[in-house]
């Protein structure tokens, strides 16, 4: 979910900010500290990302949170040449990557690196922006 602010100091459209909920609050609070947390079923242990109410493995609503390594491999990517929100237009073109995290789930983020190939080793980071933390990936160190 996002919320659009219609004003900022430059007069340009503001970037959408993430809007937390009781379901996603632990994720966003950790992201603000630079830590990637993943939701895990407290009954069967299945890891899931993005946060959801029920486990799709056993339908339990019992949840715990686990820190992720941030490491993974490139699953796919897209080069964005069209801004679907006017606040992103000055950043075009940019690249979004889908990463297979070591924990067995996929995460989406910005790409900050050179060329990409499926299977490349990457690591995730958070940038603390005015509108909220932004997950991005770089080549693994």
> Binding residues for Zn ion, per CB under 5 A?
41, 43-44, 46, 55, 57-58, 60
Closest CA to 35 of 11, 72, 66: 66
Task: Select 59 or 128, whichever has its Cβ closest to Zn ion.
Answer: 59
Encode burial over 15-29: b for 16+ CB neighbours within 10 A, e otherwise: bbebeeeeebebbbe
Task: Select 43 or 100, whichever has its Cβ closest to Zn ion.
Answer: 43
Token pair listed for 65:
């949170």
Closest CA to 49 of 120, 95, 103: 103
Task: Select 25 or 44, whichever has its Cβ closest to Zn ion.
Answer: 44
CB of 43 to Zn ion, least distance (A): 5
CB of 55 to Zn ion, least distance (A): 3
CB of 47 to Zn ion, least distance (A): 10
């Amino acid at each position: 979910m996002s919320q659009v602010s219609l004003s900022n100091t430059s007069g340009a459209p503001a970037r959408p900010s993430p809007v937390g909920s009781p379901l996603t609050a632990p994720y966003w609070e950790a992201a603000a500290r630079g830590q990637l947390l993943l939701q895990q079923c407290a009954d069967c242990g299945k890891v899931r990302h993005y946060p959801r109410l029920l486990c799709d493995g056993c339908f339990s609503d019992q949840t715990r949170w686990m820190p992720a390594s941030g490491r993974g491999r490139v699953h796919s990517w897209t080069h964005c040449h069209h801004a679907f929100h006017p606040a992103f237009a000055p950043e075009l073109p940019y690249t979004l990557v889908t990463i297979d995290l070591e924990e067995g789930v996929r995460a989406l983020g910005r790409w900050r690196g050179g060329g990409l190939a499926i299977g490349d080793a990457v690591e995730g980071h958070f940038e603390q922006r005015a509108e909220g933390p932004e997950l991005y990936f770089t080549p693994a160190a």
